[in-house]
Structure 1
Amino acid sequence: MKPALLLAVGWTLAQSCLAGEETVPTVQVSGHYQNAVGSSDAASQGSITGELIANRPALRTGELLEFVPGMIVTQHSGDGKANQYFLRGFNLDHGTDFATYVDGMPVNMRTHAHGQGYSDLNFVIPELVQRIDYKKGPYFAEEGDFASAGAAHLRLADRLPQGVVSLSAGQNGYWRTVLADTVQAGAGRLLYGVEANRNDGPWDLPERVRRYSAMARYSAGTGDQGYNVTAMAYHNRWNATDQIPQRAVDAGLIGRYGNLDNTDGGSSARYSLSSAWRRRSDTGLTELDAYLLHSRLDLFSNFTYALERPEQGDQFSQSERRNTAGLNAAHSWQSGLAGLAMRNKLGLQVRFDRLAPVRLYQTEARLRSATVREDTVRESSAALYGENLTQWTPWLRSVAGVRYDAYRFQVDSSVAGNSGKARDHIASPKLSLVFGPWDKTEYFVNYGKGFHSNDARGATQTRLADGGASAPVTPLVPTRGRELGLRTELAPGLQSSLAVWRLDIDSELVFVGDAGDTEPSRASRRRGIEWNNHYIATPWLLFDLDLATSHARYSQADAVGNDIPGALNRVLSFGATVRDAGRWSGSFNLRYFGPRPLLEDGSVRSASTTLAYARAAYRLRPDTRVTLDVFNLFDRRASDIDYYYRSRLPGEAADGADDRHFHPVEPRTVRLTLARSF
């Protein structure tokens, strides 16, 4: 962290403990969710308020997505990488079939060096997130690529009710500081926020995370009659302890938090400029978002150790430099036909990515020894969508929509035969029926077609890096989902929803552990049940209980088996939150995710993982609070993720050994935060 910034934060905190001034009171809200009956078009759709985000501890920034019911967020490598996501029977790797947005900007990176749909949220400052809107399933016309399992929109604040400065410290060299405030600037407001974070973690090789984020937003007007302009910057570098083989731990070669290649790690950066404009008239609402984005990544990994190159080692580097530009435009208006009230929406989404280049190298101790491939990629897409909501009767409404996506790919490759152009298009109809409410209960029927894109390099590839023949993959892969659900507020203080769903995918995207990448695979089918409950027992005591079960299989039979490696089958999360109990507040959160098959025949499975987080906070003054967070409260020895593949340790036979490779959860970790509002 810059010494000047640390000095400024420390001085402000010291003033907060000594000064006696009162501050603007915080905004009071009735609950943590905005999911009342009549607020959504599916049982699995909802919103989380900023109050819940502020009151629940998070070990990593990516755990913001765990506010989506049924979502599990873990990590299989250093904390500078995108997280590992699980939802609705998916091991989503880094985001293959779950779309994430920060305001109007997509987070998923297509044709990414490390994996299709790569979603790195480390650039977000959680204190500046106002709410999270989530949807599951391909039932919504405005959601396109990667949104088959669901989508989350992180909405950043235009203003803060009061400024905040905080300093956190914890075990293993952890500290984090945040400074954010809103000031008047001409006819509008300037919101700014900066974050600095360092962490070595529990690993035998100190992780040495060095992360810096900043955001500045100028806004004027209101949410539907105004505009904002936002600049964001992020930089991170780290060492990585990747997943390790169980046999190395059993033999005592390394400890549970050890590593086999102490030069793994990387650096990443992201810089963006975006703008949003809203204008409401007597006839409707017009919305316009535009964004420019530059990102870069250099990642060094070694998953097989000495299997391919015994003398040099199997470390490889995945690297990219990316520029992205995009535009989202939509117009909504009210109308009527034959006495029926209608709401209509037309939208346009345009995105262009240029990777110059995206690269794969063989490396040794982060030094390049050979080029596997270098590519320059241009990928562009345009989508048109329309949606109509009709209120047929007081107890029946329909939402019908359709979107059309067109993609163009151009690849210039260092591998002969892999350069070329491709294009594809897809139409996706959607339909939702909402019945009720009766007795504070409404019922939903949802159907939709969606898709995910494949890596542009696969769309033009005719040769493998070793010279073998390869057939191009389908650029856009259709998905089809359906859901039956209900939401009820029949019991006082309780919001409860139940959804039964199914999702079919024409080609599964699967993470390949020994290659560190995603590959297209067979068609698949998933089905499951979700039950979500949010209960306000008293104004100061709230409970959450979310249960999800799913069944995932390849739908094209194969002799190797039909289980989908990494497919999650059970999730349970429980939370209890105490707020405004005098000077005290706090929370307890428990999450469980069940065992997963690691091979297609189901012969090897992971264990389940259960973790608990706890928070206790005490208000020293109206403007000063101290918070104690404890992660992995019961100090469980479990895995964040498990894989099963072949690797070779030094001294083993040339063909190595098949083994379980795991990344352990962090042991019990304590962090203390002093925060002042001003």
Structure 2
Amino acid sequence: MNFLQLKKLTLLLFTVCTAQMAIAQHIFKGKVVDSATNQPIENASVYANGNSCGTSKSGNFQMAMPGDSCTMMVHCLGYQKKAVKLTKSGERVVIALAAGSISLDEVKVSPHLGANSFYTLSALDLRLRPVNSSQDLMRLVPGLFIAQHMGGGKAEQIFVRGFDADHGTDLNVSVDGMPVNMVSHIHGQGYADLHFLIPETVSTYDFGKGPYYTDKGDFATAGYLNYTTKDALDKSLISLEGGRFNTFRATGVIDLLSSKAKQSGENAYIAGEYNYTNGPFALAEHYKRFNLFGKFTKQLGQNNKLSISASTFSTSWIPSGEIPERAVVAGTTAIDDNGNAVKLSIAASPINRFGTIDSAQSGKSTRTNALVKLSSDLKNNWSLENQLYYTHYTFQLHVNTTFFADDNDNGDLKYQNETRDMYGYNGRLSKRSYLGNATLTSTLGIGDRQDKIYGPVYNSITHSGQFLEIISAGDIKENKANAYVDETLETGKWLINAGARIDYLHFNFHDTSQNKAIISPKFNIQYTANEQIQFYLKAGKGFHSNDARAVIGNNGLQTLPAAYGADLGLNWKPIPHLYLNAAVWYLYLQQEFVYTDDGTIAPGGRTRRDGIDFSARYQLAKWLFADLNVNLAKPRLIGEANGANYLPLAPTFTSTGGLDFKFKNGISGGISYRYMHKRPGNESYTLTADGYYVTDLKVNYTRPKFEVGLSVENLFNAKWNEFEAEEVTQLRNESAPVDQMSFTPGTPFFAKLRVAFFF
């Protein structure tokens, strides 16, 4: 079925379902905004006389009523509900909502959230949990775990839905619509370093699991994660933090314009952040990070909004890196040449878990971004978005994970370096058609992204910096163009969404080019039986692209291996103070990417994953909230014998949960846990990545002019490994390489105090 036929079928269905509602209707239009910032509120629910609708991204809504007057009730999580009496249809009304307490009793299962089945979860968690790092922001996603294994400056290792997604290979990450993932990155395809984002500037975030979202392209196989920064501030703040391991953080978010300017539709603010820590390691990490961000928005007339933002980020650190198990504890397990488990002992004295083997490792990275976006409400319910973005990026890393396994004399220290410029455009044209209280939203999107990577180098080097061998080098040019169409019909209790996108990629490396295109259809259907329960089915195709060096090298890797998935789930409020989300899911991947120690990508074969996701949010009292997430997955290689088909490091059972409290006297906080079950360390499961259970605590006391807080990571000082991986390593005193698990220890008990001032 082509797009024209799909459009005709959707319009016919729309007409049949809603023709009976077109008699003697009176149209009420309006916009819902935040009373403090005057910014539009998306996904607010509007109810009147048994009918309901939701607000768009620009805060607009439209509802048809049988009479010329009505009383509307407006709800949105985190705001005070408001009743508005309207006595005349046809006139556009602006409804301002004031911030309020959070009550699960007032949360309704809404049919108006499109394909975003997780909106209520994300809105609840962001409002309840204190966040002061980009790591905290990522951990808000149920079932998403992160880890560091080369110091705090690198992009996090991401684990989600049965994926060891490396640094972003299978999770599409963006901020304000700008991609964070780096294609053909010297340290891993899809490398997504989110450290440039200052958490105090984040307004909302949304996520989706699986390849079901038409506006999400490359890397959206396990899912996507998007953050939106604030357009306006309700207050300025200065924050100071200090803690164990010589840790220090200073943050400022300052409003730049007067109240008069805000009344005319102008907002501007600037934010800065400085971080420093030595970490818990014997070798001081000397981790430094500086962030600067600014944003300006202006209302151009009634129907146009201009947004301009810019940011810069720089970081440097000295990582202790991964260390083999045998370097810490004698008698650990390794694998011999026949694949059998053997016991080891070493002659040298074991080192401390927080020790280091190669002190020459180090890292540096910078990223500068600029974004311009124009949002326009056109006539006849058309809307248009145009966005341009630019990024300049640098990355340097000295890393040694094998020590003397490859070079007994000089060691295995590697040097990775790249500089890139990234240019991009996102365009989106949408039309909302109304017939009665049914809505058809038609969207056409186009985009283009150009990456120019100058001289990415992967070398073997000595500790004195002498180059020994070039593993990979040469300029890369990569272009990604896309277009998509999306149709969403909302009528009564049903929401039907269908769409498709085409992605066209051009790779160039060493003056050799290759082109490849892929078409990805998507289909989502949702049935909201009542305000307590909603069922949904999602199905679609996605993909993750390969590194340009692998594409041009043609070494058995596919260029754009596809992912096919399906979710069957529900959102349910069985009782007023309990909200549940659950889904069973399946995902097939044409080719897994496996990263080797020499910086290349090896063919990983076809894989399948199936699992169960479960999330619960329960309000025990007006001031006390409980949350629980349980995620089960069975990831396997296809075509391999049982017992040799495990996916190394892929999570199989994870859980997070806790209690959050929020008193009217300003005391708030919570205690939470993270649990990762043990998982295969290699394809035969003869090596094991250990599980862990870590508990964190946060307490804040907030008043109108200040806030004092305490955060504790690893409250009970558990001994845990943040990251583990199979490595073939050789220590200086050993005569041959050993295949064994290496690990990076998790943070021990770590307390940090914070004081913030508001003005």
Tell whether the structures are fold-level matches, with TM greater than 0.5: yes
> Residue 640 in 1 paired to residue 722 in 2?
yes
Letter in 2 for 1:442: Q
Alpha-carbon distance, 1:157 to partner = 0.5
Using the size of structure 1 for normalisation, the TM-score is 0.90
The answer on 1:625 being equivalent to 2:625 is no
Residues 324-365 of structure 1: CA deviation (Å, up to 9, x unaligned): 001110011123699964111110011110001111011223
Provide, for residues 228-259 of structure 1, a one-character-per-residue CA deviation record: whole Å limited to 9, x for no partner: 10010000000011111010011433210011
Q: Aligned pair 1:572/2:655, yes or no?
A: yes
Structure 1, unaligned stretches of length 5 or more? Answer: 1-24, 413-418, 463-470
Distance 1:72 1:459 in 2: 30
Q: CA deviation at 1:158?
A: 1.1
TM-score by length of 2: 0.80
Deviations 1:152-209 (A, max 9, x none): 1101001121001010000111000001122227551111100011000000110001
* Aligned equivalent of 1:257: 354
1:294-335 Cα distance to aligned partner (Å, 9 max, x none): 000001100000011111110101111010001110011123
Paired with 1:232 and 1:31, the residues of 2 have a C-alpha distance of 36
Task: Summarize the alignment of residues 450-461 of structure 1 with structure 2, pairs less than 5 Å apart.
Answer: 450-461=542-553
Tell me the equivalent position of 1:82.
155
Answer yes or no: is 1:480 the counterpart of 2:564. yes
Structure 2 partner of 1:207: 285
Which residue in the other structure is 2:665 paired with?
582
State the partner residue of 2:758: 677
The one-letter code sitting in structure 1 at the alignment partner of 2:700 is A
Which residue identity is paired with 2:585? Answer: W
Matched residue of 2:327: which SS?
Answer: helix
Q: Distance in 1 between matches of 2:435 and 2:239?
A: 55
Structure 1 equivalent of residue 273 of structure 2:
195
Query: 1:489-638 alignment to 2 at 5 Å?
Result: 489-512=573-596, 514-515=597-598, 518-557=601-640, 561-619=644-702, 621-638=703-720
Aligned length: 636
C-alpha deviation, 1:499, in angstroms: 0.6
Query: Structure 1 residue 30: deviation in Å?
Result: 2.7
Counterpart-to-counterpart distance in 1, 2:513 and 2:107: 45
Paired residues for 1:61-140 under 5 Å: 61-140=134-213
CA contact (8 A) 2:186 2:599 kept: no
Contact 2:456 2:473 in 1 (8 A): yes
Letter in 1 for 2:676: F
Deviates more, 1:535-544 or 1:637-646: 535-544
- 2:471, 2:598 within 8 Å by CA — same for their partners in 1? no
Aligned pair 1:399/2:497, yes or no? yes
Measure the CA separation in 2 of the matches of 1:632 and 1:83: 19
Q: 1:648 is matched by which residue type in structure 2?
A: Q
1:468 aligns with none
- RMSD, matched Cα: 2.4
Pick closer, same or farther for the CA change 1:517–1:538 going to 2, 3 Å.
Answer: farther
Per the alignment, residue 381 of structure 1 pairs with 480
Q: Give the partner amino acid of 1:287.
A: E
Match of 1:180 among 247, 253, 258: 253
Aligned-partner Cα distance in 1 for 2:183–2:603: 14
CA distance 1:49–1:597, shift in 2 (3 Å): closer
**Residue 432 (structure 1) aligns with:** 524
CA distance in structure 1 between the aligned counterparts of 2:757 and 2:601, rounded to whole angstroms: 44
Which consecutive residues of structure 2, in runs of 5 or more, have no partner in the other structure? 1-96, 331-348
2:92 corresponds to: none
For residues 16-49 of structure 1, give each alpha carbon's deviation from its aligned partner in whole angstroms, at most 9, with x where no partner exists.
xxxxxxxxx9943536999943244457533666
TM alignment of 1:352-363, pairs within 5 A: 352-363=450-461
User: Identity of counterpart residues, as a percentage?
Assistant: 29
Deviations 1:427-486 (A, max 9, x none): 001111111223621111111000000001111115xxxxxxxx3532111110001001
Measure, in 2, the Cα distance between the counterparts of 1:181 and 1:352.
33
Contact 1:263 1:366 in 2 (8 A): no
- Output the CA distance in 2 between the equivalents of 1:589 and 1:228: 37
Q: Is the 8 A contact 1:633 1:668 kept in 2?
A: yes
Secondary structure at the aligned position of 1:63 is classed as helix
Partner of 1:342: 440
Q: Deviations over 1:61-82 (max 9, x none)?
A: 2331111111111111110100
Counterparts in 2 of 1:172 and 1:258: CA distance versus 1, 3 Å: same
- Determine if contact 1:238/1:265 at 8 Å carries over to the other structure: yes
1:520, CA displacement in angstroms? Answer: 3.5
- Flag the structure with more relative contact order, 1 or 2, with Cα contacts below 8 A and sequence separation at least 6: 1
8 Å contact 1:63–1:73 — kept in the other structure? no
The 3-state SS of whatever aligns with 1:497 is strand
Greater displacement, 485-494 / 530-539: 530-539
Q: Give distance in 1, aligned partners of 2:256 and 2:121.
A: 26
2:495 alignment partner AA:
R
User: Cα gap change, 1:127/1:60 in structure 2, threshold over 3 Å: closer, same or farther?
Assistant: closer
Q: Indicate the residue corresponding to 2:429 in structure 1.
A: 331
Please tell me the residue identity of whatever aligns with 1:72: F
Check the 8 A contact 2:122/2:140 in 1, yes or no: no
Residue aligned with 1:459, SS? helix
* Deviation string, structure 1 residues 540-577 (Cα, Å, up to 9, x no partner): 22221111100000112258811011110011111211
**Range moving further from structure 2, 332-341 or 577-586:** 332-341
Q: Secondary structure in 1 aligned to 2:137? A: helix
Q: How does 1:159-308 map to 2 (within 5 A)?
A: 159-184=232-257, 188-221=266-299, 225-251=304-330, 252-281=349-378, 282-308=380-406
Q: 2-side partners of 1:36 and 1:636: how far apart?
A: 39
> Quick one: which amino acid aligns to residue 533 of structure 2?
T
Amino acid at match of 1:138: P
Q: Give deviations 1:248-290, integer Å, cap 9, x for gaps.
A: 0114332100111001111000001101211113322111121
Give the 5 Å matches for 1:439-450.
440-450=532-542
Highest Rg: 1 or 2? Answer: 2
Deviates more, 1:66-75 or 1:515-524: 515-524
Counterpart amino acid of 1:609? Y
Asked whether the 8 Å contact 1:573–1:591 carries over to 2, the reply is yes
